[in-house]
């Protein structure tokens, strides 16, 4: 009878590969024989389901023919490059089990860090730097040059680890795969496992002479300069991510990312509120009563603002589209000007008499 692998893993037929893998790891954790809830039969069943559904080609065949499709395949589940139990046992992809049993991959001599060609080289580190810019540069954007001291690809060997002109030799023990296969006895029987080749360290190759500048690591420390475009509208504390501009990875691995955190200088004239700008202007009692035109500082320069007669202290005037550019969008905020009326603390008798006559 055809087995319902989707039901065994508890996923629907439209499940993504990530969902299938997640379901397998969860059930394998529950049914592993070393666990209190362990069940060897169910563990084997769950793994069998995953070996099919976790492989796009096998999954397509299963969806068309059911689980019996394996009867016509040479070697059944032993294909596909997975290590497995011999004599009809189950097959476990140790990269998938990796960390769910607290290092079961290492227990079987097969760490979860391997790749198709030897050990997986570690991606370069992400790095962060702080860039200080002016208030106006945050409003309109800018282009700045920064200097970083970081790991970079070795320019002498171009990251291939060998001294230029020397030979790179394919490992005869693993034939360039970086892996060797052996049979090991486990709690579930004999298991065919793969591990890093001990002769080449899992690289699949050896070097007649390693690079004299980086000692065969493929990276060196150096100071680099980068031109960085600051987007208009960025706020204090926000970061720009530059993919691949972090530290170089060793043995040709991908570089990390660079995060540039913004530190925006205060401007005593302005205060930011989202994409709006606030400022305060002081006017005299006479200007408030009679009205006037005053000059206002904005991020675009000085503009004239009309103060109507009878303006009260605390009145706010809006200068449309004189604020901050919307980050990665369209439009701008406004500039809001708060008027504060200076009331004289001392006045002459004549001034007092005039005010009383005016009834102010």
* Annotation: binding site for Zn(2+): 154, 157, 171, 174, 197, 200, 211, 214
The two three-digit tokens of residue 345, written as one number = 């603390």
Query: Can you count the helices (H) and strands (E) in the chain?
Result: 9, 17
- Computed from CA positions of residues 305, 310, 311, 313, in that sequence, does the dihedral angle turn out positive or negative? positive
For residue 184, which of 50, 116, 83, 99 has the smallest C-alpha distance?
Answer: 83
Cβ–Cβ < 8 Å for 112, 242: no
The two three-digit tokens of residue 101, written as one number = 């049993």
For residue 254, which of 354, 142, 105, 115 has the smallest C-alpha distance?
Answer: 115
The two three-digit tokens of residue 122, written as one number = 């570690």
Residues 6+ apart with CB under 8 A from 44: 90
Distance CA 223, CA 204 (A): 32
Residues 6+ apart with CB under 8 A from 359: none
The two three-digit tokens of residue 272, written as one number = 């930011």
* Cα–Cα separations (whole angstroms), residue 191 to 64, 81, 175, 194: 30, 14, 22, 10
Cβ–Cβ < 8 Å for 262, 239: yes
Distance CA 51, CA 191 (A): 16
The two three-digit tokens of residue 224, written as one number = 């680099």
Annotated binding site: 154, 157, 171, 174, 197, 200, 211, 214
Distance CA 256, CA 126 (A): 5
């Amino acid at each position: 009878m055809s087995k319902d692998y989707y039901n065994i893993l508890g996923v629907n037929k439209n499940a993504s590969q990530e969902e299938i893998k997640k379901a397998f790891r969860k059930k394998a954790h529950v049914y592993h024989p070393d666990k209190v809830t362990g069940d060897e039969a169910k563990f084997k069943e769950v793994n069998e389901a995953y070996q099919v559904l976790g492989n796009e080609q096998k999954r397509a065949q299963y969806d068309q023919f059911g689980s019996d499709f394996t009867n016509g395949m040479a070697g059944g589940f032993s294909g596909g490059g997975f290590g497995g139990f011999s004599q009809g046992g189950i097959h476990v992809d140790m990269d998938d089990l990796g960390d769910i049993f607290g290092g079961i991959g290492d227990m079987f001599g097969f760490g979860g860090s391997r790749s198709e060609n030897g050990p997986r080289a570690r991606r370069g580190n992400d790095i962060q730097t702080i860039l200080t810019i002016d208030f106006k540069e945050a409003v309109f954007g800018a282009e700045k040059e920064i200097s970083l001291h970081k790991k970079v690809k070795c320019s002498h060997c171009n990251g291939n680890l060998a001294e230029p002109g020397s030979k790179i030799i394919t490992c005869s023990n693993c034939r360039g795969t970086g892996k060797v296969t052996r049979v090991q006895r486990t709690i579930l029987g004999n298991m065919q496992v793969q591990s890093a080749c001990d002769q080449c360290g899992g690289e699949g190759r050896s070097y007649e002479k390693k690079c004299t500048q980086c000692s065969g690591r493929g990276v060196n420390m150096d100071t680099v300069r980068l031109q960085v475009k600051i987007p208009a509208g960025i706020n204090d504390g926000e970061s720009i991510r530059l993919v691949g501009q972090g530290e170089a990875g060793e043995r040709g691995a991908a570089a990390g990312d660079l995060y540039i955190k913004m530190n925006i200088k205060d401007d005593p004239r302005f205060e930011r509120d989202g994409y709006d700008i606030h400022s305060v202007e002081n006017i005299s009692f006479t200007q408030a009563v009679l009205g006037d035109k005053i000059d206002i500082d904005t991020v675009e320069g000085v503009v004239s603002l009309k103060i109507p007669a009878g303006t009260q202290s605390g009145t706010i005037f809006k200068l449309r589209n004189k604020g901050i550019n919307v980050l990665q969008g369209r439009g701008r905020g406004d500039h809001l000007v708060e008027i504060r009326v200076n009331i004289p603390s001392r006045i002459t008798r004549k001034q007092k008499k005039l005010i009383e006559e005016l009834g102010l």
